[in-house]
């Protein structure tokens, strides 16, 4: 039987494409995942936890490893081995901590001789680290030969303001903080795990006493509705926070709760309670 | 004019144009609607990303074909017009006939892609239309102008002949200008997603021209323009190959052998300059954002370039093999066959160097055994210095193949032929030396200096090609013939090489489309509009390869169907539009 030309051509083309597909499937498969937001809102993390979280950012979301090496001279960027100690000597009158933070936020300010000015500002898109992440990353770099003494307050308040990519508009929510506090303590059940200023004391979840200072309104709103999707705070178990608040709370209760959380700026007693 | 030749095609194209026009005019309302719509909707079964991926790749394949082929079709028509050789006019008409059949499918796929964006990515589309809305009306207008000009060009082939031929040629040129303008407008949208410009930190528009003229716009314009010609050449050559294999008579075989040769010649000519356009694009990506450039070349996408190297290596080897097979049908070519083994060696060595990865993802124990992630010997071949050297030498070798093919049945009668030949060899040697020197020297300088060396290497190769041809053309003018090319007698396996080249280039286009889109990672618009959908992850190569293969297979199935439809109107005729198919067997030189 004579095979038609078109059939032969089709089989040939499929074999060629099959070979390419097989080869592409047989080499290492690297998939790029979108980075998760790290939140350290409670501030009750140990230096070890902070350094570990910072190392994760160094290797992951921060993309630092693309250019920097630790203990090995890079062609594009300086070796960061011992940077925790050497940073203190780089600029007279500037501590290691201040030098590292400034280098992350404005890399062009402290160029190492022999290296081009190619490092992006890490709190801006596309890397877009938030304040918690900058805090952890600084701690990790301090740990490379130095002492970990960075505090969240050392990270400028303006840092990471556009971390999500695109503008973060100031939100004016119609919620009532006082009613929100009631939801926090009652129907929402948040108090079972979280502390919020003078309200609650449970250590199960992160302390939210200064959540409004360290997280954006968008993050807070999204976290309530989709806790797993927004990542888990370092040092706390994942999967504990219920994902059903979006269904159990009414729209008003949800807005009230957010409004309450946005009053938590670490000033001791919950502002709503002061009113 | 004989409008009944492709009545179905005409109707589809008009419907496609009308749909696209209506859709573009309705966009402000769609954008307002999108602002209130959810951020994403899910496409049934396969998900939104795969749906957009498949339609975008198919649309791009068809668009590349209908924009690329007319570029060389009009050049061939001009050749026929100026030389008076009817066979060129026939060939040009054949090429345009192919694109004409694919025109309506391109428009319909474009409209479908737009529906997918508006329906499944409403917020993203609202943002994009907020930036680029003024360009949409320009695009629609260009699309109508392009459509009507191509219609006039194709259907006016007989009407605008003889003394009116210049008008017909002008229509061909005009349709190419409109086509190129369409390409440039749509490239502005897609490059903005990769390297946004003309916006402030919040993503709001500050300058429309800045958004259009972003970092990668012009490099992509140039790269796609050249790649479209290559793609068009390979598809046209593959079409000719199928017709050759199906041919019942020697005359038909000869005609499609010649058509396949011309298609392949066009493809190789454009392919040789394509890597240079690729370097330009790569350089601009680095200039826009170092992190993006490094992610592309050294990050999670680094293995993609190994696959790309293999595909390009196959394209070079295949093109050369086709030329060598073609020499067997040229009396007198025996003189040059002794060079073929050396050329194979250079091409194979270049192929190996280009396909050598720089660093290999390894387990710690494997890395310890090898002494690091870089192989102590082969790792040296993985850097750009080695790869630039390899590809430039491969291009020089391919040019040499073409040169030998060109003179296979010619003997120069010029008294200075010895000096001319010596000068040509000297130029080849000088270019190879410059390429190798900068390749080796590149290991001893900083990367920023090394990038500049690739320009010297490119200039050496392009300069050598220009100089050698400047000597070759006068040297073989009025040359003595050792016999005519026996068109149609080429080995049938050569036609499978043409099909291999078409399939490989189409697959490569899919891969490069994945690379261009994938380097944005989890961003719709890099650094501005984040992808927060369930598909925000960027797939690994295997997943992408599966998708590329499926879409490429669908593309070829559609092409076959469209060409079959296009041929229905001329079933049983050896002519189209009164174009008598020329007799080529045993006939003329290329």
Q: Is A72 on the interface with B (CB under 8 A)?
A: no
Which tokens is A139 given?
Answer: 């701690």
Q: How confident is the model over B31-87, as pLDDT tens digits?
A: 445 444 577 888 888 999 999 999 999 999 999 999 999 998 999 999 889 888 888
Mean per-residue pLDDT, A77-86: 89
Which tokens is B77 given?
Answer: 């028509």
Reported confidence tier of residue B375, pLDDT bands at 50, 70, 90: confident
8 A C-beta contact, residue A27 and residue A120: no
Nearest by CB to A118, from B290, B526, B537: name it. B290
ipTM tops the 0.95 cut = no
In sequence order, what E strands does B308-460 have? Answer: 410-411
- Comparing B5-14, B123-132, B261-270, B363-372, which segment has the lowest mean pLDDT? B5-14
Q: Is B248 on the interface with A (CB under 8 A)?
A: no
Mean per-residue pLDDT, B165-182: 95
Handedness of CA B199, B200, B204, B205 (dihedral sign): negative
pLDDT, residue A161, reads 59
CA dihedral of B508, B509, B515, B520, whole degrees rounded to 10: -170
Whether pLDDT at A266 is above 90? no
8 A C-beta contact, residue B229 and residue B263: no
> How close B124 comes to chain A (CA, Å)?
13
| Separation of CA A85 from chain center | 25
| A112 vs B20: CA distance, rounded Å | 54
CATH topology of domain A177-274: Immunoglobulin-like (2.60.40)
**C-alpha triplet B65, B170, B79: angle, nearest 5°:** 75
Averaged confidence pLDDT in chain A = 82
Contact across the interface for B311 and A167, Cβ inside 8 Å: no
Handedness of CA B44, B45, B46, B51 (dihedral sign): negative
Whether pLDDT at A273 is above 60? no
| A34 vs A63: CA distance, rounded Å | 12
Averaged confidence pLDDT in chain B = 86
Which chain B residues contact residue A116 at CB under 8 A?
A: 448
Strand partners, B199: B205
Nearest by CB to B545, from A9, A20, A128: name it. A20
pLDDT, residue B511, reads 96
Reported confidence tier of residue A144, pLDDT bands at 50, 70, 90: very high
* Maximum distance among all Cα pairs of chain A, rounded to whole angstroms: 93
Which chain B residues contact residue A165 at CB under 8 A?
A: 203, 523, 527-530
Secondary structure (DSSP) of A102-157: HHHH-GGGGPPTTS-S-PPPTTSTTT---HHHHHHHHHHHHTTTS-----GGGS-T
> Beta B410-411 vs B480-481: how paired, if at all?
antiparallel
Contact across the interface for A126 and B242, Cβ inside 8 Å: no
Q: How confident is the model over B104-149, as pLDDT tens digits?
A: 899 999 999 999 999 999 889 999 999 999 999 999 999 999 989 9
Which chain B residues contact residue A11 at CB under 8 A?
A: none
10 Å CB burial of residue B36 (0-12, 13-18, 19+) is exposed
| A120 vs A128: CA distance, rounded Å | 10
pLDDT, residue A62, reads 86
- Of B130, B131, B170, B141, the closest CA to residue B153 belongs to B170
pLDDT, residue A251, reads 84
Q: Is B291 on the interface with A (CB under 8 A)?
A: yes
pLDDT, residue B74, reads 92
- Comparing B139-143, B171-175, B296-300, B540-544, which segment has the lowest mean pLDDT? B296-300
Q: How confident is the model over B196-208, as pLDDT tens digits?
A: 999 987 888 999 9
pLDDT, residue B366, reads 66
Q: How confident is the model over B218-234, as pLDDT tens digits?
A: 999 999 999 999 999 99
Provide the residue count of chain B: 590
Nearest by CB to B537, from A8, A23, A34: name it. A34
Q: Where are the alpha helices (DSSP H) in B86-216?
A: 86-120, 122-155, 165-194, 208-212
Instruction: Please provide residue B8's backbone torsions phi and psi, each rounded to the nearest 5 degrees.
Output: -65, -45
8 A C-beta contact, residue B178 and residue B145: yes
Whether pLDDT at A25 is above 70? yes
Question: In whole angstroms, how far apart are CA A242 and each of A44, A192, A246, B262?
Answer: 22, 12, 10, 67
> Beta B410-411 vs B579-580: how paired, if at all?
unpaired
Which chain A residues contact residue B530 at CB under 8 A?
A: 125, 164-166
| A105 vs A121: CA distance, rounded Å | 5
What percent of chain A is helix, strand and coil (3-state, nearest 5)? 45, 0, 55
| A34 vs B275: CA distance, rounded Å | 31
Whether pLDDT at B29 is above 60? no
Provide the residue count of chain A: 275
Contact across the interface for A25 and B447, Cβ inside 8 Å: no
Give the best residue of A67, A158, A166, A169 to mutate against chain B (max B CB count within 10 A): A166
Contact across the interface for A124 and B499, Cβ inside 8 Å: no
Q: Is B300 on the interface with A (CB under 8 A)?
A: yes
Element of type H or E holding B575: strand B575-576
Reported confidence tier of residue B365, pLDDT bands at 50, 70, 90: low
Q: Which residues contact A256 (CB under 8 A, 6 or more apart)?
A: A175, A176, A177, A179, A180, A182, A183
Reported confidence tier of residue B340, pLDDT bands at 50, 70, 90: very high
Reported confidence tier of residue A13, pLDDT bands at 50, 70, 90: very high
Which chain A residues contact residue B529 at CB under 8 A?
A: 165-166
Give the best residue of A2, A15, A23, A28 to mutate against chain B (max B CB count within 10 A): A28
Which tokens is B565 given?
Answer: 């439809």
Q: Is A228 on the interface with B (CB under 8 A)?
A: no
Q: Is A6 on the interface with B (CB under 8 A)?
A: yes
pLDDT, residue A271, reads 45
Strand partners, B538: A32
* Maximum distance among all Cα pairs of chain B, rounded to whole angstroms: 80
pLDDT, residue A164, reads 46
- Comparing B219-223, B439-443, B566-570, which segment has the lowest mean pLDDT? B566-570
Given 3.40.190.10, 3.20.20.370, 1.10.760.10, 3.30.300.30, which CATH number is that of A47-154? 1.10.760.10
Q: How confident is the model over A161-184, as pLDDT tens digits?
A: 554 444 333 445 678 888 999 999
Whether pLDDT at B576 is above 70? no
| B559 vs B552: CA distance, rounded Å | 10
Query: Is residue B437 reached through a cis peptide bond, with omega within 30 degrees of 0 on the bond before it?
Result: no
Long-range contacts of B183-187 (CB under 8 A, 24+ apart): B183/B63, B183/B67, B183/B221, B183/B224, B183/B225, B183/B228, B184/B217, B184/B221, B185/B135, B185/B138, B185/B139, B185/B142, B186/B139, B187/B217, B187/B220, B187/B221, B187/B224
Reported confidence tier of residue A132, pLDDT bands at 50, 70, 90: confident
10 Å CB burial of residue A84 (0-12, 13-18, 19+) is buried
| B210 vs B233: CA distance, rounded Å | 34
Query: In terms of pLDDT, which residue wins out, B544 or A42?
Result: B544
Could you tell me the residue ranges of all domains in chain A?
47-154, 177-274
Residue A199's SS3 state is strand
Question: In whole angstroms, how far apart are CA B440 and each of A43, B384, B454?
Answer: 54, 11, 12
- What angle do the packed helices A251-261 and A217-225 form, to 10 degrees? 130
């Amino acid at each position: 039987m004579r095979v038609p030309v078109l059939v032969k051509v089709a089989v040939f083309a499929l074999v060629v494409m099959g070979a390419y597909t097989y080869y592409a499937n047989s080499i290492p498969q690297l998939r790029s995942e979108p980075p998760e937001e790290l939140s350290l809102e409670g501030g009750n993390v140990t230096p070890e936890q902070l350094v570990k979280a910072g190392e994760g950012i160094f290797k992951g979301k921060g993309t630092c490893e693309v250019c920097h090496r630790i203990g090995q001279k890079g062609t594009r960027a300086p070796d960061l081995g011992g940077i925790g100690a050497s940073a203190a000597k780089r600029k007279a009158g500037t501590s290691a901590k201040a030098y590292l933070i400034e280098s992350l936020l404005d890399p062009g300010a402290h160029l190492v001789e022999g290296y081009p000015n190619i490092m992006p500002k890490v709190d801006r898109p596309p890397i877009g680290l938030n304040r918690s992440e900058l805090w952890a990353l600084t701690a990790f770099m301090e740990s490379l030969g130095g002492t970990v003494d960075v505090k969240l307050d050392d990270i400028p308040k303006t840092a990471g303001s556009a971390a999500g990519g695109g503008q973060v508009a100031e939100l004016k929510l119609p919620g009532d903080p006082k009613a929100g506090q009631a939801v926090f303590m009652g129907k929402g059940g948040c108090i079972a795990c979280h502390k919020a200023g003078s309200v609650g004391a449970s250590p199960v979840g992160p302390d939210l006493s200064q959540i409004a200072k360290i997280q954006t309104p968008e993050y807070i709103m999204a976290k309530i509705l989709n806790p797993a999707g927004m990542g888990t705070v370092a040092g706390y178990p994942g999967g504990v926070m219920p994902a059903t608040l979006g269904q159990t709370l009414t729209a008003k209760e949800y807005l009230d709760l957010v409004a309450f959380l946005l009053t938590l700026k670490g000033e001791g007693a919950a502002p709503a309670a002061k009113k | 004019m004989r409008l009944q030749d492709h009545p179905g095609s005409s109707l589809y194209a008009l419907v496609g144009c009308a749909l696209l026009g209506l859709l573009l005019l309705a966009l402000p309302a769609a954008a307002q609607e999108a602002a209130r719509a959810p951020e994403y909707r899910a496409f049934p079964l396969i998900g939104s990303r795969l749906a957009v991926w498949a339609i975008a790749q198919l649309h791009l394949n068809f668009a590349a074909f209908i924009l690329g082929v007319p570029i060389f079709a009009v050049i061939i028509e001009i050749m026929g017009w100026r030389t008076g050789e009817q066979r060129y006019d026939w060939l040009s008409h054949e090429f345009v006939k192919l694109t004409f059949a694919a025109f309506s499918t391109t428009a319909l796929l474009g409209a479908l892609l737009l529906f997918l964006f508006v329906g499944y990515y409403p917020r993203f589309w609202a943002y994009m239309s907020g930036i680029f809305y003024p360009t949409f009306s320009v695009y629609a207008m260009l699309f109508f102008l392009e459509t009507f000009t191509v219609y006039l060009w194709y259907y006016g082939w007989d009407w605008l002949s003889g003394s009116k031929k210049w008008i017909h040629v002008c229509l061909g040129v005009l349709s190419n200008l409109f086509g190129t303008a369409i390409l440039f407008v749509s490239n502005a949208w897609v490059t903005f997603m990769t390297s946004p410009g003309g916006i402030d930190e919040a993503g709001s528009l500050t300058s429309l021209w800045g958004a259009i003229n972003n970092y990668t716009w012009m490099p992509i314009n140039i790269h796609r323009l050249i790649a479209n010609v290559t793609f068009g050449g390979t598809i046209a050559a593959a079409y000719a190959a199928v017709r050759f294999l199906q041919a019942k008579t020697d005359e038909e075989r000869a005609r499609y052998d010649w058509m396949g040769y011309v298609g392949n010649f066009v493809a190789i000519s454009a392919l040789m300059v394509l890597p240079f356009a690729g370097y330009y694009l790569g350089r601009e990506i680095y200039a826009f954002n170092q992190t993006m450039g490094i992610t592309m070349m050294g990050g999670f996408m680094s293995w993609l370039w190994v696959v790309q190297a293999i595909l390009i290596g196959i394209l070079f080897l295949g093109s050369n093999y086709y030329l060598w097979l073609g020499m067997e049908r040229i009396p007198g070519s025996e003189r040059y066959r002794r060079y073929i083994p050396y050329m194979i060696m250079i091409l194979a060595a270049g192929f190996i160097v280009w396909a050598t990865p720089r660093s290999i993802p390894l387990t710690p124990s494997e890395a310890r055994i090898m002494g690091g992630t870089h192989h102590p010997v082969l790792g040296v071949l993985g850097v750009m210095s080695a790869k630039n050297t390899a590809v430039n030498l491969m291009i020089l070798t391919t040019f040499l193949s073409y040169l030998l093919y060109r003179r296979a049945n010619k003997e120069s009668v010029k008294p200075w032929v010895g000096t001319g030949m010596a000068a040509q060899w000297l130029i080849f040697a000088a270019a190879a030396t410059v390429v190798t020197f900068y390749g080796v020297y590149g290991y001893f300088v900083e990367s920023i200096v090394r990038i500049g060396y690739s320009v010297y290497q490119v200039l050496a190769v392009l300069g050598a090609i220009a100089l050698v041809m400047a000597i070759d053309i006068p040297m073989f003018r009025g040359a003595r013939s050792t016999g005519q090319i026996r068109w149609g007698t080429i080995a049938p396996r050569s036609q499978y090489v043409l099909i291999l080249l078409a399939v490989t280039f189409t697959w490569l286009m899919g891969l490069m489309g994945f690379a261009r889109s994938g380097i944005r990672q989890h961003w719709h618009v890099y650094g501005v509009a984040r992808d927060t959908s369930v598909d925000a992850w960027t797939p690994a190569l295997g997943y992408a390869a599966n998708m590329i293969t499926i879409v490429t297979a669908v593309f070829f199935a559609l092409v076959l169907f469209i060409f079959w439809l296009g041929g229905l109107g001329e079933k049983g005729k050896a002519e189209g539009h009164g174009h008598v198919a020329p007799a080529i067997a045993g006939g003329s030189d290329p």
